[in-house]
Structure 1
Amino acid sequence: MAATPHALQAHRNRVPAERRRPFGAFVIAVTLLAAAFTVRDLANLPDVLAHASLGFWLLTVLAVAGDALPVTLPGRWNTAAIYPSICFTFAIMIDAGLAAAVVVQGLAVAVSSLRLRHALWRAVFNLGQYALAFGIAYGTLHLISGDAAPGLLALVASATAWFAVKYLTTAAAIWLRDGGSLLPIIMGPLANEALSTGALLMLGPVIAAQTEVAPQLILVLVLPLLAVRRLSIITAEQRHLANIDTLTGLANRKALIGEVSAAVAGHAQRAVQGDARCRFGLLLLDLDRFKHVNDSLGHEVGDRLLIAVGDRLDRVVREGDLVARLGGDEFAVVAKRLDGADEARELAERIEQVLINPVVLDGMPLDVSGSIGVALYPDHGTDFATLLRHADVAMYTAKHNGDGIAVYHPDADHNSPQRLSLLADLRAMLGRPDKGGLRLFYQPQVEIATGGVVGVEALLRWQHPTRGPVSPDELIRVAEPSSVMRLLTAWVIEEAMVQLAKWDAAGLQVRMAVNVSVRDLHTGAIVEQIEDLLGRYGLEPCRLQLEITESALMADPHRVLATLTRLQLLGVGIALDDFGTGYSSLQHLRRLPLSEVKIDRSFVLSMADDPDDLVIVRSIIELAGALGLRVVAEGVEDERAWRLLQSAGCEIAQGWFYARPLPPDELADWLSRTTLPALS
C-alpha cells in the first residue's frame, strides 16, 4: 500500500524535450547505482531460494498478488498509487536477505507495470528505485546490528533509509522532469507519505517475526492489511477530491494555485536558461447571462450547462494547459509556455469561438458567451494572487467595453495603492453612523416650458477627513469595480428616500433621480431593497427614478434586463444617462424598459458653438420622442443653451443655469425664493 510521492504516478507522463537528457541521465544513474548495490547479493540468489521456507513463498505470493491489483484514482490530480507489496518484501529482506527482497519486488513491479501499462523505462526505473532503497536499507540494518538479530533501533533506521531513498529519488525525478523548485516538491506530501509508507515498512518486522514462528498465521494479517489498504484508498480519494471541482471534474481553486505556483518556479528557471517561451498566461472567463439560465430553467439545467462549458474548455486548450472552475460561472485557464500576449489572446479567441455554438439541453439551445481577461507571467505579476487580480481587472475591462477579450493593462487597473487605500477608507466610512463626510447634494431638474421643478438628481459628495474633497468621478472609479459599490448604492438610495419623505412632510413633492452602477443590477437584490424602502417611508414608486449610464448598460444589456423589468413593474422609472456617448442600438432602446434619456453634458456644453453637436442633440430629442421617452438635458449653463434646447423640443433641463447641486436645506430655501424662467 505504499503511496508514491506525487510524481511518476501523476498526470504528466511525457517528459518535455528540453528535459529529456538530464531526466534520462538520472534514470540511468539510479538504475546503475541500484545494480552496483545488489549485484553481489544477487549472485547468492540460487542458494537462498534452495533453502527458502514456507513463509518466504507465502510472502512472495502475497507481495505479487497485492501489486496485481494496485489502486489508482482517475484524474489529473491523483497523487498516489497504492502498492501493498513493500510490507512483505521488507519482511523478506529481514528474513531472507537483499537478493530475495529485490527479486520478489521485481516480480511485483512487473505485474503492477503490466496492469497500469507503464512504459518499459518506467518499470525499469521503479525497480531501480526499489533495489537501491533495499540495498541501502539492508546495509543500514547490518551496519547497526552486525551479525546479531536486529533490534528496534536497527529496524527503524533501516526502514527510514528505505523510505528516504525511495522518496528522494522520486522527488528528484519530478524536479528534473517538470522543473521548479526542489524543496516544495520534497516537502509537499512528505508528512502523508511518511505516515502511510512508514506504517507499512514497520509492519515488515512483525511479519518477519511471525514467519519464523508460525508462517501459516501470516494469512491472519491479510484482514488488517485490507483495512490499512482501504484507509490508504480513502486518503488518496480525499487528496484527489481536494483538488477537483466536484460538479465539472475540472481543477478547483486549490489545484489552480498549485499549478500557477509550479509554473512560476518552472518558468523562472527557463528564463534563467534563456528559454524564449518562458511566459505563461492566466485566463479568467466569466459567463454572460448565466444567472438568467438558473432563474428561468433551474439550477439543475445551470449545472449541466457549466459541465458542458467545462468540457468545451478542456477540449480547446493545448496539452499541458490547465482548466479550472473557480466557482459559480467563473473558469480559469493556465496557458503554459507562451512567447507573449498575442499567443495568449489567440487561445482566448479559440475559447471564444468554441463557446459560440449553443449548448443544447433537453432539445433547447442555450447561447453561451463570456468575457475573458488575460494576465501574463512575469509581465503582469509573479505570484498567483497578483496574476489572478490582474486577470480579473482585464476581465472586467472586457465586460465593461463589450470586447469579449482584454489583456491586462495598468491604465485600466483601479487597484493602485492609493485607490486601494481610498477604497478601504470608503468601506470604513460606510460602516460609521455619521458616514464620515459622505453626503448627498441635489440638483433641480426643471421643465423648460413652465419653469417648474419636476425633480432633483441626487449627487454624491465626499469630504474625506484627511484628503479633503474627493471628486465624484474618482469616488465612482474606486468603488465601481468592487463590492463596495453595492454598499454605497444601498446607502445612497436609502438616504435619498429618507430625504423624499422629509420633503413630503414639508409639502414638497418632487421626483428623485439616483445613479446606479450596472454592477448593482446584476442581481435582483436592489429590487427587494427599493420595495422595502418605499413601503417603510410610505413613498410612491413613481417618485424614484434610477439612472444607468449608456456605456455601462451596453457592456451587458441582457444581464440587467430582468432586473430593470422588475423595477419597471414595481413602478420605478429608468433613465438612460449620458446618452450619445455609448454604442446602444435602437433594438436595445426598444427592448429596455426606459422612461427617460439624458443627453450627455458634453454635447449640451458645446452645441452653441459646434453645429455637429447641435445636430446630435436635436437627433437625440427626435429619436427619444419617436420612442415615447422623456428627454433631460444635462450641463445647461447659460441662456443660449437653454433657448436652443427649447427650440429643439427638449422637455427638461438641468444645470448651473438653474442651480448648482445643493444640500437639502439650501435646496428648500432656493425653491422658496427662486422664480425660474419659462417659455415666453
Structure 2
Amino acid sequence: MAGLTMAGRRWTKQRLLRLYALVMGVTGGFLLALSARDVVAEAVAHPPMWLMTVLAVVAGMLAFIERPTPGRPPLIVCPTICFTFAIQLCWGFGPAIAAQAVAVLLVRWKLHAPMVEAVKAWGQYTLAFAASGAVLWLGQPDPFERNGPTNIATDAIAVVLAVVAWIVVYAALEFVHSVLRGAPARSRSLTSAVGNQLLFKASLLLLSPVLAVAAHINVGFVPLVFAPLFAVQRMARLSAERDRAARMDPLTGLANRAGLRAGFNDLLAARGRVSPDGVPAPAVLSLLMLDLDRFKHVNDTLGHDVGDRLLVAVAERIAAVQPAESTVARLGGDEFAILLATHTPQEAERVACTVVHALARPVALDRLQIDVTASLGIASYSDGEDFPTLLRHADVAMYEAKQRGDAVATYAARADQNSPERLKLLTDFRDALTVPEPQQIAMHYQPQVSLATGEVEGVEALLRWHHPVHGLVPTRDLLSVAEHSSVMQQLTMRVIDDVTAQAAAWRGTGLTLRASLNVSVRDLYSDDLATHLAARLRERGVPPERVQVEITESALLADPSRVQATVNRIAALGVAISLDDFGTGYSSLQHLRRLPISEIKIDRSFVAGMADNRDDAAIVRSIVEMARTLGIRTVAEGVENEYTRQLLAEAGCTLIQGWIAAHPMPGAELVRWLSAADVVRRPARGGALPVRSQLQT
C-alpha cells in the first residue's frame, strides 16, 4: 500500500510538471503566432537580424549542464539570451522569441534534454521577453535618433528596467516550476540555484545593449563578442566543476561530507511542508551510516587499486537501491551514508535492510569473488540538533552494530559513550587527576582472606571518585569514559603512585599486605607502565612482592606479543601477575603456561551461581583444581554468603574476596579494621570465617 501511495504521488508530480510545460508551450506558441508577420517583415527588411540569429544558435553550442551536487536537479547554462535580447532591442519581440525557439531546439539536441524540458524553457523565455517587451514599448529607447543627456538617461533606464522585468518574470516562473518539482519554497538549494541562474542571465542581458549598438554601427563587430563570451563561459564551467568537486567524492561520484550537509539542509527545510498536490512532506529525517567489514584486509591483501574498485562497486549498489529524494555520500575510507526523509522510523529501518541485502552478493574483481558485509547505524533527527550531532549519533549506532555483531543498529542515548555530558565528566576527571591530594580521587582496599587460615593475605585497590557536583561516580561508568583516551594512562600512573605510597605507609607500621592494582589494555602496550612502577617501588622502598598487577583475559586477546613483553618486564621486577575475570574471556589456556601468572581470580558471575547452579560450581572446582596443579593461587571474587564460602573451601580455593569478609575501605581505616577485628585466628578448615559483620564498612 505504501508503495502504491508513493507511486501515486510521483505520478501526480509528473502530471503537474507536464501540465506546466504544456501551458508554457501553448502560451509561447500563441505569442509567436501573433508575431509571425513581424518576424517575416523584420527578416526581409533587416538582413543583420539573420547574422544575430545565427550567432545565437552558435552560442547554443557553448551550453553545458551544471550538476551542483548529487541529488540536485541539473542546470543548463547557455548564453543564447545575450543575442536574442539584442535582437529584441533592435528588431522587436517577435524576432527575439523566434530566434530563441531555434536556439532552444539546438540546445536540446546537443544536451539530449527531454522535449518537455525544451518546451517549458522556451515558454518561460517567451513570457520573460514579453515582459521586457512591454517595458521597452513604454520606454521607447532610441539612442540613434535622440542624443541629449536626458534622452541618454531615459534610454538607459528603459533598457535596465526591461532587463529587470525579464529577470523578475523568469525568476517567478522558475520558482513555480521548482516548487512543482518538489523543492521546498524556502529551500537554500532552491534559492542558491535560482539565484545563480539569475546572476548569470542578468550579466548576459546587460551585455545585449552593447551588441545592439554594435549591430547598428557595424554588424561585423558583433562576432567579436564571442572571445570574451567564451572566456566567461569557460570560467562559469570551471566554477561549476570546482563547486561540484567540493561537494562530490571523486572516486565514487557520490556526495561527500559537504554534499551530505547540503542535503541535510534541504530536507530539514522541507520538513512539515505540504506539496502542491496536498501531500505533507515526510517528517522523519534519518541518517544511515555504514562501514564495510574487513575492508582493510582487502587493501592489504589485494592492493589499494582493487580496494578502490570495490568501493566503486559498493557505491553503485547503494545508489541503485537508494530512495527517491535521498542523498548517498561517501564520507571517506570505507564509510558511506544515506540521508533520507520518511514518514515513520520503520521506513528507514527497511531501507537499511535493503542496503544490507544489496551488499550481501559477492563482488567479482579480478576473477575473485569478494564477500562484502557492512555494519549500519541509524540515527533520527530530533528538533534542535545540528548536522554534526546527527552524524555522530549515526556513527555511534554503527559502531554499536559492529560491537554486537549485528548488521543494523539504531542509535540509543543510553549506549552513547560520547555524549557531551560524558565528555565533560572526562574533563573533570582529568582535572581531578592533576590534584595530588585525595579530596576527590582516593583508593579503597578490599581484603582478600585465606580460606585455610583466616588471615588477610592481600587487598585489591579499588578506585573511588567523589565528584564535587555529581557525588560518587560509579567506577564502571568512569572507566567506560576513560579507557579509550589518554586519561587512562594518567589514571594508571596515579593508581601506582597511591598504592605504592600506601604500601610504604603500611610497611612503616609493620603491616605486610600484598596490594593488587588493575591496569588497562592500553597500559600493557607501553613500556611506561613497568618503568613507572619500578621507579616508585625504588623511591618508596617497597619490596616488589608487596605489589601485584592485575590484567584481564581480554587484554591478552588484542595483541598477545606486546602484552607478553610488558608482563615479562613487570614480572622481572619481582611483581606478581594476577589474571582477572578468569573464565569470562576467550583466551587460550596456553597463556597460563607462557605468562608468569601467580594468581587467577575467578569471576564473580561463576562464584555467585555456585549455590544454585551445579554447572557454575563444577566450573569453579575445575578452575581451582587446574590452578592448584599449575601451582597458581586462586581468588574467588564476589563471595557474599556463608554457603558459597563453604563450597569454595571444600573446592580448595586459596582466597576469597567479597562482602562476607569486608567492604572496600580507605587505607587508614583498613589498619583500624585489622586491629579491631579478630581476623588472624586460624579456624578449622571449613569453619566460619572469623570476621565480624559489625566491622564491615
> Which TM-score band (shorter chain)?
0.7 to 0.9
- The change in CA–CA distance for 1:225 and 1:676 in structure 2 (over 3 A counts) is farther
Q: Is the 8 A contact 2:128 2:167 kept in 1?
A: yes
- Structure 1 position 407 matched with structure 2 position 401: no
CA shift, 1:351, in A, is: 2.5
Q: In the alignment, residue 330 of structure 1 is paired with which amino acid?
A: E
Are positions 1:462 and 2:465 aligned together?
yes
Q: TM-score, normalised by structure 1?
A: 0.77
What's 2:4 paired with?
none
Shift of the 677–613 alpha-carbon distance from structure 1 to 2, 3 Å rule, reads farther
Map residues 90-105 of structure 1 onto 2, 5 A cutoff.
90-105=85-100
The answer to whether the Cα contact below 8 Å between 1:133 and 1:163 also exists between their aligned partners in 2 is yes
Larger CA deviation: 82-91 vs 600-609 = 600-609
1:240 maps to a residue whose letter is: R
Give 1:645's aligned residue. 648
Q: RMSD over aligned Cα, in angstroms?
A: 4.6
User: Residues 453, 202 of structure 1: CA spacing in aligned structure 2 closer, same or farther, 3 A cutoff?
Assistant: farther
Secondary structure at 2:336's aligned position in 1? Answer: strand
Q: Which structure 1 residue ranges, 5 or more long, are not aligned?
A: 1-13, 521-525, 554-559
Q: CA deviation at 1:241?
A: 1.5
Question: How big is each residue's C-alpha offset from its partner over 1:392-424, in whole Å with a ceiling of 9 and x where there is no partner?
Answer: 443344234332212345665678xxx744642
2:494 equivalent in structure 1 = 495
Map 1:406-445 to 2 at 5 A: 406-409=409-412, 412=415, 420-421=420-421, 423-431=423-431, 433-434=434-435, 437-443=440-446
Q: Is the 8 A contact 1:578 1:601 kept in 2?
A: no
Aligned-pair distance for 1:130? 1.0
* Alpha-carbon distance in structure 1 between the residues aligned to 2:581 and 2:260: 41
> Contact (CA 8 Å) 1:447, 1:651: kept in 2 or not?
yes
Q: Which residue of 2 aligns with 1:394?
A: 397
Counterpart in 2 of 1:239?
243
Corresponding position of 2:541: none
Counterpart secondary structure, 2:290: strand
Find the counterpart in structure 2 of residue 61 from structure 1. 54
CA distance in 2, matches of 1:298, 1:451: 63
Is 1:197 equivalent to 2:210 in the alignment? no
| Map 1:630-669 → 2, pairs under 5 A | 633-638=636-641, 640-648=643-651, 650=653, 653-663=656-666
CA deviations over 1:208-265 (Å, ceiling 9, x no partner)? 2222222222232222112111110111112211221233321122322333343345
Assess, with a 3 A threshold, how the Cα gap between structure 1 residues 445 and 191 changes in structure 2: closer, same or farther: farther
1:28 to 4, 10, 22: 22
Which of 103, 107, 113 in structure 2 is aligned with 1:112? 107
SS of residue in 2 equivalent to 1:469: strand
Deviates more, 1:198-207 or 1:22-31: 22-31
Q: Which amino acid aligns with 1:52?
A: H
- Residue identity in the other structure for 1:424: K
Aligned letter for 1:492?
Answer: L
SS across alignment from 2:35: helix
- In structure 2, the partner of 1:370 is 374
Structure 2 stretches lacking a partner, 5+ long: 1-7, 145-153, 508-512, 538-543, 569-576, 686-697
Partner residue, 2:355? 351
Residue identity in the other structure for 2:640: E
Contact in 2 for aligned 1:448/1:678 (Cα 8 Å): no
Aligned counterparts of 2:41 and 2:305: Cα–Cα separation in 1: 67
Give the aligned partner of residue 6 of structure 1. Answer: none
Match of 1:51 among 40, 45, 55: 45
AA aligned to 1:350 is T
Q: Is the 8 A contact 2:578 2:601 kept in 1?
A: no
Task: Select the structure of larger CA radius of gyration.
Answer: 2
Find out whether 1:327 has 2:332 as its counterpart. yes
DSSP 3-state at the match of 1:188 = helix
Q: Which of 554, 563, 567 is 1:567 aligned to? A: 563
What's the counterpart of residue 531 of structure 1? 527
Tell me if structure 2 keeps the 8 A contact 1:168–1:186.
Answer: no
> How far apart in 1 are the matches of 2:372 and 2:456?
46
Residue 126 (structure 1) shift: 0.7
Question: Structure 2 vs 1, CA of residues 205 and 384 (structure 1 numbering), >3 Å: closer, same or farther?
Answer: same
Is contact 1:579–1:597 with CA below 8 Å preserved after alignment?
no
Contact 1:251 1:324 in 2 (8 A): yes
Moved more, 130-139 or 316-325: 316-325
Instruction: Spell out, residue by residue over 1:417-443, the C-alpha distance to the aligned partner (whole angstroms, 9 max, x if none).
Output: xx7446424424424633983445454
Say whether the 8 Å CA contact 2:32–2:98 is kept in structure 1: no
The CA deviation at 1:102 is 1.1
| Counterpart Cα distance in 2 of 1:588 and 1:70 | 73
The DSSP-based 3-state class of the residue aligned with 1:110 is helix
Residue 13 of structure 2 corresponds to residue 19 of structure 1: yes
The answer to whether the 8 Å contact 1:448/1:679 transfers is: no
Alignment of 1:100-499 (within 5 A): 100-145=95-140, 151-182=155-186, 184-189=188-193, 191-266=195-270, 268-269=272-273, 273=278, 279=284, 281-290=286-295, 303-318=308-323, 320-337=325-342, 340-341=345-346, 343-357=347-361, 368-376=372-380, 384=387, 387-409=390-412, 412=415, 420-421=420-421, 423-431=423-431, 433-434=434-435, 437-443=440-446, 459-475=462-478, 479=481, 485-499=484-498
Q: For residues 589-628 of structure 1, what are the structure 2 equivalents within 5 Å?
A: 599-611=602-614, 613-615=616-618, 617-618=620-621
Give aligned-pair identity as a percent.
35
Q: Is the CA contact 1:94–1:208 (under 8 Å) kept in the aligned structure 2? A: yes
SS in 1 for 2:252: coil
Counterpart contact for 1:358–1:368, Cα < 8 Å: yes
Do the aligned residues in 1 keep the contact of 2:249 with 2:330 (CA within 8 Å)? yes
The size of the alignment, in residue pairs, is: 635
Structure 1 residue 200 displacement after superposition: 2.0
Shift in Å, 1:678:
10
1:467–1:59: structure 2 CA closer, same or farther, 3 Å change rule?
same
